[in-house]
Structure 1
Amino acid sequence: MTDLTGRTVLLPRSPGRAAGLEALLRHAGAEVTVAPVIERAPADDPEALATAVADVVAGRYTWVVITSVNAVDALAAAARAPLADAPVRWAAVGPATVRALAAAGITAELVPDEATADSLVSAFAAPSGPARVLLPLGDLARPTLRDGLAALGWQPDVVTAYRTVRSDLPDDVARRRYDVVVVTSGSVAREIAAQHGTVTPVVAIGRPSAEAAHAAGLTVAAVADHPTDAAIAAAVTTACEGAP
């Protein structure tokens, strides 16, 4: 990785989720500020989530589709029996969700080449008969998965697994100038625009985050090739190389 000495990076994630990327950037010489702009909150209807998890364990679903680590955590918290024993197949949107499932003893059988909802839909074949799919999503999720799978002939059930709520940046962090801000979701992009402004260029974790950043008025300097710490760090390097 190129020397990032003297470069300042805002990493708006929780300290636990930011640790790996923070270490890579600091090792390259960057000054990194970690401060989340969103956080997870429980679903408003925990009984709906508990019922969905019970149906998974009872074998009433063919697939469960995972699009975030938060969804894995929420399912595990709602489960009264090990999810790894459930007679269901698991799909995961990308490397982080694959790892989260593996930590719960679950193997993801379907993972798209690109970590997007569109690619996840494309990775599914049409079912041979009636088949239910559970989509445990955040409250702000777009209907891409639901609509795409329904168009293929699946019977998708959406349950809210968690809510995304705002976390305010400290005043000194919000006012400071940075060379790059990393955005890891559309929600993060929108909060960065609202709390920090749109002057600082951003590095996006993937295409959907980049699109959300553009829509929020942010300038996208680079997009990671993959949703991994190493790829995001490489994108930060690319963005800094092109900056004054």
Structure 2
Amino acid sequence: MTEADFPIEPADSAGHPVVLVARTPVRAAGLLALLRERGLDAVAAPVIERAPVEDHAELDAARERLARGAYDWVAVTSVNAVDALLGPASGEVPALAGRIADEPVRWAAVGPATRQALAGHGLAVDLVPDVATGAGLADAFPAATAKDATTAGDPAHQPRVLLPLGSLASDTMRAGLEAKGWTVDVVTVYRTITRELPPELRRPYDVVVVASGSAASQIAAQLGPQRVVAIGEPSARAAGAVGHTVLATAAEPTDEALAAAVAEALVRT
């Protein structure tokens, strides 16, 4: 059993709006606290979760290329991708992060949470876009130049980016980076699998918070169309496509912005 098997139960909901956060209780703890400060009852339970890839050969080969300095950039679009590529951060620097610490590779993070996850591995982030989406990161990325082509000390080296993604990720980042002249190695570093909500949580909610298109799809499959608040525009579009009513989209992909969006949506409705 893991922490995800123990959803955080809402408080007495008499007369108070009830919010479901479609995340594991540990990932949702900060948001739950902010929602409860606003007088809302909130419960957290995951409808998707990360699982290891079944065949590690591609991932292991990418790690070895990274350790050899074969990449100019690594572009990371989620905390899950950081953990899957480098291993969960702990009190000691993970083996791979230690091996690449002296390489000239630059790191790009989709947003503050991903930047913090990389910092936990002792890695400095060179690029964070103003718009915290895959498309925003691709737009903010520099164009490949001849200087990048000689970064590895090899005249035949092509300007290259490692793009570690989940199994359900869209092609937006790869296409955007290739349009700027980069050779992109897309590597699946984790699988996304579904989790069933426990019976006691299959009930009506005033708002459901979704932090990915995959979560929005699973909420629709398990609960039917809901009123949702999304963490960003891609999640909002995915939620609308599967029949949810999107009440609001967070201004930033942070707990504070999500809590504010939920509170404002409930006031309006």
Q: Structure 1 length as normaliser, TM-score? A: 0.94
Q: Which structure has the greater CA radius of gyration? A: 2
Please list every run of 5 or more consecutive structure 1 residues that lacks an aligned counterpart in the other structure.
none
Q: Quick one: which amino acid aligns to residue 102 of structure 1? A: A
**Offset at residue 16 of structure 1 (A):** 1.2
After superposition, the CA RMSD in angstroms is: 1.6
Whole-Å Cα distance in 1 between the matches of residues 255 and 79 of structure 2?
Answer: 15
Whole-Å Cα distance in 1 between the matches of residues 121 and 105 of structure 2?
Answer: 14
Conserved 8 A contact 2:38-2:263:
no
Picking from 61, 80, 84, the partner of 1:70 is 80
Picking from 53, 64, 75, the partner of 2:63 is 53
Partner of 2:41: 31
Whole-Å Cα distance in 2 between the matches of residues 154 and 230 of structure 1?
Answer: 35
**Matched residues, number:** 238
Partner of 1:135: 163
Partner of 1:158: 186
Whole-Å Cα distance in 1 between the matches of residues 57 and 95 of structure 2?
Answer: 13
Q: Deviations 1:28-57 (Å, cap 9, x if unpaired)?
A: 221111110001000122121111111111
Aligned sequence identity (%): 55
Alignment of 1:15 onto 2:25:
yes
> Cα 1:31–1:233, aligned 2, differ >3 Å: closer, same or farther?
same
Whole-Å Cα distance in 2 between the matches of residues 44 and 159 of structure 1?
Answer: 13
What is the SS of the residue equivalent to 2:36? helix
**Offset at residue 204 of structure 1 (A):** 0.3
Whole-Å Cα distance in 1 between the matches of residues 45 and 143 of structure 2?
Answer: 42
Alignment of 1:183 onto 2:183:
no
Partner of 1:112: 129
What is the SS of the residue equivalent to 1:133? strand
Whole-Å Cα distance in 2 between the matches of residues 20 and 107 of structure 1?
Answer: 25
Conserved 8 A contact 2:23-2:47:
yes
Stretches of 4+ moved more than 2 A in 1?
A: 77-81, 83-87
**Offset at residue 155 of structure 1 (A):** 0.1
Once structures 1 and 2 are overlaid, which stretch shifts more, 59-68 or 80-89? 80-89
Q: Structure 2 length as normaliser, TM-score? A: 0.85
Whole-Å Cα distance in 2 between the matches of residues 44 and 158 of structure 1?
Answer: 16
Alignment of 1:237 onto 2:247:
no
Alignment of 1:226 onto 2:252:
yes
Please list every run of 5 or more consecutive structure 2 residues that lacks an aligned counterpart in the other structure.
1-12, 89-93, 147-157
Q: Please list, as runs of the form range in 1=range in 2, the aligned pairs for 1:79-98 lying within 5 A after superposition.
A: 80-81=95-96, 82=98, 83-98=100-115
Q: Quick one: which amino acid aligns to residue 135 of structure 1? A: L
What is the SS of the residue equivalent to 2:34? helix
Whole-Å Cα distance in 1 between the matches of residues 95 and 115 of structure 2?
Answer: 22
Conserved 8 A contact 1:57-1:85:
no
**Offset at residue 153 of structure 1 (A):** 0.7
Whole-Å Cα distance in 2 between the matches of residues 106 and 191 of structure 1?
Answer: 34
Q: Quick one: which amino acid aligns to residue 115 of structure 1? A: A
